[in-house]
Amino acid sequence: MDLIIFTGLQASGKSTFYRTYFAATHDYVSKDVLRNNKNPNKRQFQLIESALQTQHSVVVDNTNPTIEVRKPLIDLGQYYRATIISYYFIPDLSQSLKRNRQRTGKAKVPDVALYTTHKKLEAPSYAEGFDKLYNVQITNNSRFEVREWIEAGENILIPPQSLLSMHFQASLPNETPELHHAEQNDV
């Protein structure tokens, strides 16, 4: 059972990454879908806890920019003995601003929100309690490049095909995944 915590700017590809690699196997929790809730933090915590209580893997798709924000999520994952995994979306402020400007409706956030998140963004670390760390970057051809953080300072390239075998050993998909393009409108 995994508790996967995404960390990154708005419009950095987190939701597209979830749909591409985890939608079939992991529950989804995001404050973006809790906007009408009076206490989205409390509701998010309840949804994560409910998934973990029933032994479901879950992805938390928010910016989760600081150690302080991630700590209660990690504590909850540790309580339920989940494997706690971080996917850190390497910040590219100019590209996130560009993708955000292509969004419409509630998906589009004010530029100031990206600047604010960028200013306080802290990269995750094993010291926080993560069992596995990965970073994700969108390449020039709009594909996800995933690197596993084996040890401090050492990044090993893990192709997306290997990503699935690392996390879905019990239930591999029937088809072999290909590199997926990040969708411009909801990255």
Residues 151-186 have pLDDT tens digits of 555 555 554 444 544 443 322 233 333 334 444 444
| Cα separation, 165 vs 171, whole angstroms | 9
For 127-161, letters b (16+ CB in 10 Å) and e give ebbbebbbbbbbeeeeebebbbbeeeeeeeebebe
Q: Mean pLDDT across the chain, nearest whole number?
A: 83
What are the boundaries of each domain within the chain?
2-167
pLDDT at 41 over 70: yes
With 0-12 CB in 10 A as exposed, 13-18 as middle and 19+ as buried, what is 82? buried
| Cα separation, 158 vs 30, whole angstroms | 26
Distance linking the first and last C-alpha atoms of the chain: 26
Report pTM: 0.81
User: What's domain 2-167's architecture?
Assistant: 3-Layer(aba) Sandwich (3.40)
The amino acid that residue 125 corresponds to is S
Is 65:121 a contact under the CB 8 Å cutoff? yes
pLDDT at position 184, please?
A: 40
Instruction: Tell me the pLDDT band of 6, cut-offs 50, 70 and 90.
Output: very high
